[in-house]
Amino acid sequence: MSVKRALPPPIFKYDPANMPELYEKIKRYDDYAELPANLELRQTICAPDAILELPNVLQALAPGTREVILVMDQTPMKRGTDSLKPMVREMLAAAGYAIDLVEIEGDKHGVVHPDFINVDYVKSRIRPGVPVATVGSGVVSDITKHASFLFDEAHPDISPVPLVFCQTASAVPAYASRMAIISKGNVKRTWPSRLPNVIIQDIKTLCDCPLEYSLGGIGDMCAMFPGFADWYLGTYFGMTHYQQASWEILEDVKDLMFAYAEEIGKRTPVGMEVLAKIQTLGGLTMTFARDSSPVSGYEHVVSHMLDMSAEHYDRPIGNHGSQCAVAGIPTLIGMGWLLDNLDPAKVDIDRCYPSYEVMEERVRAAFAEIDPTGASGAECWSDYKKKLDGWYLARPQFEQFLADWDSQKAHLESLMLRVEPYVRSLNASGHPMLFDELNVPIPEDQARWAYHNAHLMRKRFFASDIVYFMGWFDEGWTDRVFARMHELVDDARKASPSLVSA
């Protein structure tokens, strides 16, 4: 009987717990001069009792005040036998802080929405010189960071808001991203924002976080495997700007995430350390890129489509990261089929450029299914039209892309992971692998709608756009993708039943 070897302690080349050293290392990048300057994030505290450092952090950031604006939602959270949020409030009060509590309310399902109503509410409570701290999710952090960003913009004559995030889950890389996902017209959009000054990653809290959020963290970082290939294509066709530094900073994610997937699934302290730190690197990759593209490919837009349709189907919004991980399976299937089957000699280039009238009708019809008012369709068409503009301008690049297909294919392969090892790694962590297994189960017909129409939602370019423009992305394509998805999941589970109980 074979004995499984214990994993060695993780070694990070870019350790977020030592931000000064991390910033020194990135100075070696060839494209360092292109990275954003004066990043606000100066410290990440990742330790078993990191939350106990909050009073000291606040004092260091704002030594002249004993007030704090504390932002959280109404979701109960545990830290061992303690209720986390009352514990934090008692700790701050004992340290002599007067607390201005800002509670963000959720919808009828208790879910907090990252919209401008909540952003404006938090912004209205910010006062000059008073530090702001969050205890909560990536959504609460996005709302608060963007409220702080807008407050700073409105008050350029005073010092920026001192901002601390107490990370309660490692479900998304939002904590270390200089962007915020805020909805406009029920459509999620990425907005330039700011970073916190300090991130506190309390390992005890993260170990007690519900499993679905930790698995969602794996899922959100899984997006790098299709995401970088999608991002490269967008750059090649002149619709965005690829940043090599964003790929380099994720070296630890490539080396450690799947290696420690089982530890993450079991929520061990080492697993939570790895996940928290790679989530921070995930935020930094987006910060470097000034875009969410590095860890936000087609799978993310499928997740956003599921969120858009939630109200129509009267279901709560599910765990974003886990939705992304599952959506990564059909995304990588489709991407792999494109690489394996594209024959430049058989591409009718003229037919790859549909008219604006045809595409406007296609976009509006897709979203009329979930919003008969037409508002969602109008918002998506306004963004998609920009992609169509870019696609028409990029016709010479597309012709060159086809002429140089062998080298292009090899480069895309270097930026992505094939779907088979991706599915096996998700299985090792105990992550859901089908849409109806998610924390908020998604019926397959709704998941198919999201996958089939996600390329119509926004201006960002994807490999799926090439599939569509070549005329492949019809209902038969989606049928085959989902049939293959079930085959892969069944094969992975037969070969190696998950060691982690979800």
Q: Is the pLDDT of residue 212 over 90?
A: no
Q: Is 474 helix (H, G, I), strand (E, B) or coil?
A: coil
Task: Round to whole Å and give the CA distance between 205 and 385.
Answer: 44
Please state which of the four CATH numbers 3.20.20.70, 3.40.50.980, 3.40.190.10, 3.40.50.1970 is assigned to the domain occupying 19-209+245-289: 3.40.50.1970
Q: Where are the domains of the chain?
A: 19-209+245-289, 293-495
Q: Is 127 helix (H, G, I), strand (E, B) or coil?
A: coil
CB 246 within 8 Å of CB 289: yes
CB 104 within 8 Å of CB 71: yes
Q: Where do the DSSP E strands lie in 74-207?
A: 78-79, 82-83, 98-104, 132-136, 163-167, 179-184, 187-192, 198-202
Give me the half-sphere count of Cα atoms (radius 13 Å) on the Cβ side of residue 134. Answer: 30
Q: Is the pLDDT of residue 499 over 60?
A: no
Q: Is the pLDDT of residue 4 over 80?
A: no
Range scoring the smallest mean pLDDT among 34-48, 63-77, 254-268? 254-268
- With a CB cutoff of 8 Å and minimum separation 6, the contacts of 341 are none
- With a CB cutoff of 8 Å and minimum separation 6, the contacts of 299 are 222, 223, 226, 227, 324, 325, 327, 328, 331
* Among 6, 7, 11, CA closest to 278: 11
Q: Is the pLDDT of residue 368 over 70?
A: yes
Compute φ and ψ for 128, nearest 5 degrees. Answer: -55, 135
> Which is it for the CA torsion 310, 313, 314, 316, positive or negative?
negative
Q: Is the pLDDT of residue 14 over 70?
A: yes
- With a CB cutoff of 8 Å and minimum separation 6, the contacts of 157 are none
CB 427 within 8 Å of CB 498: yes
Q: Is the pLDDT of residue 271 over 50?
A: yes
Range scoring the smallest mean pLDDT among 6-15, 268-277, 434-443? 6-15
The predicted-structure confidence for 387-418, as pLDDT tens digits, reads as follows 999 999 999 999 999 999 999 999 999 999 89
| Banded pLDDT at 501 (limits 50, 70, 90) | very low
Task: Round to whole Å and give the CA distance between 402 and 378.
Answer: 33
The reported pTM is 0.80
| Banded pLDDT at 247 (limits 50, 70, 90) | confident
Q: Is the pLDDT of residue 33 over 80?
A: yes
Residue 425: its H or E element: helix 419-429
Note the pLDDT of residue 500.
43
Q: Quick one: what percent of the chain has pLDDT higher than 70?
A: 98
Q: How confident is the model over 108-120, as a mean pLDDT?
A: 88
The predicted-structure confidence for 283-338, as pLDDT tens digits, reads as follows 999 999 888 778 888 999 999 999 999 999 999 988 888 899 999 999 999 999 99
Q: How many Å from the N-terminal Cα to the C-terminal Cα in the chain?
A: 26
Average pLDDT, the chain: 93
Q: How confident is the model over 107-125, as a mean pLDDT?
A: 90
Mapping DSSP onto H, E and C, the string for 456-471 reads HCCCCCCHHHHHHHCC
Q: Is the pLDDT of residue 143 over 80?
A: yes
Note the pLDDT of residue 1.
40
Q: How confident is the model over 105-132, as a mean pLDDT?
A: 92
- With a CB cutoff of 8 Å and minimum separation 6, the contacts of 466 are 233, 338, 342
Note the pLDDT of residue 498.
55
| Banded pLDDT at 171 (limits 50, 70, 90) | confident
How far is residue 8 from each of residues 259, 271, 272, 491, measured CA to CA in Å? 10, 12, 15, 29
Task: Round to whole Å and give the CA distance between 120 and 453.
Answer: 32
